[in-house]
Chains A and B, each alone.
Chain A
Amino acid sequence: MSDTDFSTLDHKLSEAIDPARPLLPPGMEPAEPAYRWLLTTQLLLTWLPFLVGALVIDNVVLADKPVQGVLSTIVGVLMIAIVLFVPLRIYRRLGFKLDPHLLRVVRGWLFHTDTMVPFVRVQHLDVARRPLDKVFGTASLVVHTAGTHNSIVTLPGLSPERAAAMRDEIRAEIRTDWQ
């Protein structure tokens, strides 16, 4: 079974028509489109300090040197490229599915992760809204299991109502016999 094979001609065509179309295994729900802009803002905020740092270094340390401006240019171009290219690609590959017995979350572009959490293993649940979530009207569902590794599964980019509904749905399934 190969449910992540997207290299069909049909797919390429639809991609040309609608580049923001989610790129997910069949049957999976995409994240809210607003999540794309949340990611863009987040990446901008992450890279801004680096750009400022590069500008400072260029104008203080490297002032009057022949290489002045090179560092800022590199960081600036890198930042614009990342902000333009990355959020859309991550957004298209973020999806989730509530199966009868488990939650499945797929995410990631260069480093792709496909997570499955059986409901019986869930210890507790969070619906989290960070400041940026509030600006863009999204929420994250955070699922905690007893594991030491991968014990926290985060599903971002949901509408707050959907996140709360999913929490209640999973909550109803939880039994407390993980031992």
Chain B
Amino acid sequence: MNEAGGIERRDVRRLHPLTLVAGLGGVMRSLWGGLAAGAYFIVQQRWELAALIVGATLAVGLLRPLIRWLSFSWELGPDEIEMKSGVLGRNHRSIPFDRVQDVNVEQNVIARLLGLARVKLETGASAGDKNEDGVLDSIALADAEALRDLIRAHRAGDPVVMAADSDAPIEQAGEPAPVYAMDLRRLLLAGLFNFSLAVFGVLAGFTQTAGDLLGFDPFRRQFWLELGHAGQPFIAFILANRVVTALFGLATLVLVGLATGLLQTVLREFGFRLDRTETGFRRRRGLLTLTDVVLPLRRVQAAILATGPVRRHFGWTAVKLQSLARDSGHGGDHVVAPLATHDEADAILREMDWRPVAHADDWHRPSPAYVIVFLLFLVPFALAAAGAAYLTTDWHLLLVLALLGFLGITRILAWRRHRHRLDGDRLLVRSGFWRQRTVILPLARIQSIDLKRNFIDRRLGVSNLVLGVAGGSGFAHHGVAALPHDHALDLRDRLLDPVR
């Protein structure tokens, strides 16, 4: 049977030959060591050696992709895809369509010029190693789309649909309105909120230590002096006192931080569009590198509404879905809306047949032990820092105390935000001060429950519930902290109700 993009079953196929061209940039990057060595010998005027090194590097560098291309083949079975690779050690991998978590079609700039696409089949296995999942790098875009439709149709439980009359791919003119999309204004706004605190911090430290070397230190008078003639009133005002100079330095760094966030956001989220398909969501985004992900709703483990103090003030939130597969680029939960109003977030949840988070007043707050236990664990560090400062008389160590105090304050703020609520067949958990998250976790997705208490918790009569949930990013676990012990036991029983 002939598929839309010309994919035939039981037909051994290779990657697109132009893949070799598209990979040239990567090849050159991997060869720069050899080429640099060649350049060094050219400078030394040792021509034979230089020619030998450059020749050998190029030969190896160009042959390796060719051998890889020749040794790789893939074919479609009735309900699986098979990939064969390797020269010395042959590997034959088969991925059942049933186990594919999502299909990710990616195009970088070169691939777009050549009409190629990289297809990644996420299975959720070996989550740490990105190279280990099923990657076709690269095939023709039409083939990639046909393959995605094929796998998606299989998911719908109706593989026959994909036969002859499937010449109505999703991009056709009659495409229904998206569940969520970002216009340019929203995109730029998201960029502003994506203010890069990391870049700001790094730059601030950098100008303090290396600014002299580069001649870039907006905290110094000299920088502004050189920027214009000191006679101009504006510059003269800046130079008038150190405070103003420092303020302008700060403003410069803030601008750089804003620009970085804006650039990152525009590159990643440009043309963001979320559609409902018969089995789940389809997300397209990207300015230079286009990605096209199909996310089956059956595989969603939890929904996360993420926001921050500033964004929340203006009524914005991001919507993420946690599944076994990882989002490309982020390496965590799948972002289905980078910046949405509450109505838009609710609409997305409704499309999933999930109830929105309703207003309610039966949220439970954690006990003050949430803060006390944390502070008690900080005490040894504080004592050590104070002791060290006293012994070495290096009062910079007192900065550690300031840092610990800051941590304590953020913990108090987090405590004020933290709360949970059992909402029928799902658990809602709100947490965090700077990274505010509301997690919607269906009880049926809870894999295991730990009730943890350390020796301080026991004295204070509290317990922490830690929930095992599949997927998600490496460190953040879902759970409810610092519950009175009896409440924790009770909540655990109710969370386990569906499996009893």
Contact = CB atoms under 8 A, between A and B. Distances in A.
Given A101-B499, A145-B447, A179-B298, A113 B452 contact: yes
A131 to B, nearest CB: 28
A46 interface: no
Interface string B459-500: 000000011111110100110000001100110100010011
A151 B490 CA distance: 23
Interface in B290-321: 298-299
B454 A102 contact: no
A122 to B, nearest CB: 9
Given A112-B458, A150-B468, A145 B448 contact: yes
A178 B498 CA distance: 13
B451 A147 contact: no
A147 B489 CA distance: 21
A148 B469 contact: yes
A110 B452 CA distance: 10
Interface in A139-165: 145-151, 153
B218 to A, nearest CB: 43
Given A149-B466, A150-B468, A179-B298, A112 B453 contact: yes
Contact of A116 (B448, B471, B477): B448
A116 B496 contact: yes
Given A1-B489, A2-B485, A147 B454 contact: no
B84 to A, nearest CB: 27
Contact of B470 (A114, A119, A148): A148
B377 interface: no
User: Which of A2, A101, A112, A148 is the most central at the interface, judged by chain B CB atoms within 10 Å of its CB?
Assistant: A148
A94 B20 CA distance: 59
Nearest to B457: A112
B146 interface: no
Nearest to A103: B448
A115 B500 contact: no
A137 B458 CA distance: 33
Contact of B448 (A2, A100, A112, A153): A153
Contacts of A116: 448-449, 451, 492, 496
Given A2-B486, A148-B470, A150-B468, A114 B450 contact: yes
5 tightest A-B CB contacts, nearest first: A147-B468, A150-B468, A147-B447, A118-B499, A145-B447
Interface of A: 1-4, 100-102, 110-121, 145-151, 153, 178-179
16 contacts: A1-B490, A100-B500, A102-B496, A102-B500, A113-B451, A115-B451, A119-B499, A121-B499, A146-B447, A147-B448, A148-B477, A149-B469, A150-B450, A150-B468, A178-B470, A179-B299
Interface of B: 127, 298-299, 324, 446-455, 458, 466-472, 474, 477-478, 485-486, 489-490, 492, 496, 499-500
Given A146-B447, A148-B468, A148-B471, 20 more contacts: A2-B485, A2-B489, A101-B499, A110-B454, A111-B455, A112-B452, A113-B452, A115-B448, A115-B450, A115-B451, A116-B448, A118-B496, A120-B499, A148-B469, A148-B474, A149-B467, A150-B447, A150-B450, A150-B468, A178-B447
